[in-house]
């Protein structure tokens, strides 16, 4: 059964809106909307580092992720009430933190930590990749705030990070899957790239049909195209901040 996407081309991103400075209290923040997926991403500067880094003159970037109970089609259990974060939540926040650390020179950042929060207001697929894309802009705003106020002498950012999902649905390679596509896909790949050129993270899972090297290469090329477009949008949002 072949799948034909309605409303947008197979190789098109959803409509993306990145609103900078969405929350007044955070050092950096955006609201990112990728179609119906909407996430508040914030960066908070903490002048202390985790114990394993104390006294080493190096910084750290870490992330937390959460979903509002009503963000999903059927209400999710609130993790704070359940008393623990799910394995999925922990997996995603580890991915966000790792992805963003890949573009930061920790020595230049100095002995401080940047805490990223990604909170999903509305979920329609691709929340982990949209979190990374949005959080990079929040991180950049927070870092430039420190450059502006003199806390940082040199820019620790070594590049630009963005992410997107790609997958095969009904045999057709698609860019930027929404929730119905993601649920019914044969396989999907989450791709995080530096400067839309090199791979930082790739996580590919065959849900129903294992994929060949050739299929993987096609998906990665499609993802790279989407990431190049997202990188431009990140730049514009940062300019508007």
What's the CA dihedral at 32, 196, 44, 46 to 10 degrees? Answer: 170
Structure-block tokens of residue 66: 């959460």
Cross-strand pairs, 104: 157
Only segment of 10-18, 48-56, 79-87, 166-174 that touches a second copy (CB under 8 A): 79-87
Q: Which residues fall within 8 angstroms of residue 167, CB to CB, at 6 or more apart? A: 173, 174, 177, 181, 182, 185, 186, 187, 188, 189, 219
Asked whether position 44 contacts a second copy by CB under 8 A, the answer is: yes
Only segment of 39-47, 147-155, 163-171, 233-241 that touches a second copy (CB under 8 A): 39-47
Selected from 204, 233, 235, 241, the binder of a second copy by CB under 8 A is: 204
Asked whether position 212 contacts a second copy by CB under 8 A, the answer is: yes
Only segment of 6-14, 165-173, 206-214, 225-233 that touches a second copy (CB under 8 A): 206-214
Closer residue to a second copy (CB): 38 or 176: 38
Asked whether position 72 contacts a second copy by CB under 8 A, the answer is: yes
Length of the chain: 241
Q: Which residues fall within 8 angstroms of residue 141, CB to CB, at 6 or more apart? A: 20, 21, 27, 28, 29, 30, 43, 238, 241
Asked whether position 228 contacts a second copy by CB under 8 A, the answer is: no
Selected from 58, 111, 119, 229, the binder of a second copy by CB under 8 A is: 119
Asked whether position 105 contacts a second copy by CB under 8 A, the answer is: no
- With beta carbons less than 8 A apart as the criterion, state whether 143 and 155 touch: yes
Instruction: Quote the CA–CA distance of 41 and 121 in Å, as a whole number.
Output: 10
Instruction: Say if residue 88 carries a ligand binding annotation.
Output: yes
Interface residue list for a second copy (CB under 8 A):
23-26, 29, 36, 40, 42, 44, 46, 64, 66, 68-75, 78-85, 87-91, 93-94, 98, 102, 115, 117, 119, 121-122, 189, 193-194, 197-206, 210-213, 216-217, 220-221
């Amino acid at each position: 059964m072949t799948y034909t996407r309605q409303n947008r081309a197979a190789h098109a991103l959803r409509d993306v809106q990145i609103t900078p400075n969405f929350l007044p209290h955070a050092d950096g923040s955006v609201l990112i909307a990728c179609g119906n997926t909407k996430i508040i991403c914030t960066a908070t500067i903490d002048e202390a580092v985790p114990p394993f880094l104390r006294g080493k003159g190096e910084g750290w970037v870490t992330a937390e992720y959460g979903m509002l109970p009503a963000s999903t089609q059927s209400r999710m259990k609130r993790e704070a009430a359940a008393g623990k974060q799910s394995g999925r939540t922990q997996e995603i926040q580890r991915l966000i933190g790792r992805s963003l650390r890949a573009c930061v020179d920790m020595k230049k950042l100095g002995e401080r930590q940047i805490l990223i929060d990604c909170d999903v207001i509305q979920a329609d697929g691709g929340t982990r990749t949209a979190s990374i894309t949005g959080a990079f802009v929040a991180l950049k705003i927070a870092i430039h705030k420190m450059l502006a106020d003199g806390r940082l002498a040199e820019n620790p950012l070594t590049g630009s990070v963005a992410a997107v999902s790609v997958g095969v649905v009904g045999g057709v390679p698609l860019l930027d899957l929404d929730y119905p596509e993601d649920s019914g896909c044969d396989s999907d790949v989450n791709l995080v790239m530096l400067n839309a050129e090199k791979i930082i993270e790739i996580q590919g899972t065959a849900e129903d049909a294992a994929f060949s090297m050739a299929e993987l290469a096609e998906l990665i090329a499609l993802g790279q195209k989407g990431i190049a477009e997202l990188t431009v949008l990140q730049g514009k949002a940062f300019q508007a901040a």
